[in-house]
Amino acid sequence: MTVLTGKVAVVTGASRGIGLGIAQRLVARGDRVCITGRNAEALAEAAESLGKNAIAVAGKAHDPSHVETAVSITMDAYGRIDYLVNNVGTNPVFGPLLDVEADLLRKVFDVNVVTVFAWTQAVHRAWMAENGGAVVNVSSVGGLRPAPGLGVYGMSKAAVNYLTAQLAAELGPAVRVNGVAPAVVKTQFARALYEGREAQVASTYPLGRLGEPSDVAGAVAFLLSDEASWITGQTLVIDGGSTLVAGLA
């Protein structure tokens, strides 16, 4: 039987993929979790797979009322929120940056950047300000340098990296804030980047394969642990070595 740690985490965008993988890792080590996602049916199935130490609150992550509701339900259920994983993100456009309408750019930044700020602010006010905790923001290698077709997404993730460092500087020592920046991970979200050519894409990675959700989950679990108690403001690159070579797959 899993021995409970007494710690509680909120993981956004966790009905599948990286978010669900992170929730699975945290539950397996004994944490209790609240997962969120906009698809209520898929989220309920994910929560059921996690077992009795997980709850689910469906809604759009960038909706302020959903943020408030999810934080309130978690506090009512568990009485604390020690960890926050900001995993939700969107990438609805691929192509030259200047072909993008400004309204779409605003939408991407609202979901990918403002949402990270809003969830962190809400959890900080509800628990972490007085009790401490740790936050991990899921970014991307796309935020590290320009990549063809991914300008909007990359800009938003570069902003997340800056936000991670800024919050770490402001919220220490009680709260640690870090990030992870994966390359292509085999999820539905990233499917367009490798579908039908996985071997070709993987061949450009020094480690010879694409990422799995468990690769990211392990790093996040570490950053949300006492073993990482002297690490804050960092964005850990998880990329199979892809950023060591020219181009981003």
| CB-CB neighbours of 174 under 10 Å | 13
Q: pLDDT averaged over the chain?
A: 94
**Total domains in the fold of the chain:** 1
Of the listed 78, 83, 153, 194, which one is catalytic? 153
CATH label of the domain that carries residue 48: 3.40.50.720
CA-to-CA dists, residue 241 to 88, 114, 132, 206, 211, angstroms? 24, 30, 34, 5, 11
Give the CA distances from residue 169 to residues 54, 81, 174, 178, 232, in Å, rounded to whole numbers and listed in that order. 31, 20, 11, 11, 8
| pLDDT value, residue 115 | 98
Answer whether residue 55 is part of any domain. Answer: yes
Q: Is 189 a member of any domain? A: no
> Does any domain span residue 28?
yes
Rounded Cα–Cα distance for residues 96 and 101 (Å): 11
Domain assignment present for 246: no
Could you list the residue range(s) of the whole structural domain that residue 21 is in? 8-183+213-238
Mean per-residue pLDDT for 76-103?
95
Average confidence (pLDDT) over 22-26: 98
Confidence band of 249 (pLDDT split at 50, 70, 90): very low
Quote the pLDDT of residue 147: 87
> Lowest mean pLDDT: which of 4-13, 51-60, 105-114, 207-216?
207-216
Q: 247 or 71: which carries more pLDDT confidence? A: 71
Segment 57-89, tens digit of pLDDT: 999 999 999 999 999 999 999 999 999 999 999
Is this prediction's pTM over 0.85?
yes
CA 129, 132, 138, 142 dihedral sign is positive
Q: What is the band of 34 on the pLDDT scale with cuts at 50, 70, 90?
A: very high
78 falls within a domain: yes
Amino acid found at 73? I
Q: Is 153 a catalytic residue?
A: yes
What pLDDT was estimated at residue 203?
82
Is residue 167 domain-resident? yes
Of the listed ranges 33-37, 133-137, 207-211, the least confidently predicted one is 207-211
| 3 state DSSP class of 191 | helix
pLDDT per residue over 177-205, tens digit each? Answer: 999 999 989 877 766 666 767 788 888 89
For residue 196, is it within any domain? no
**Distance of alpha carbon 196 from the chain centroid:** 26
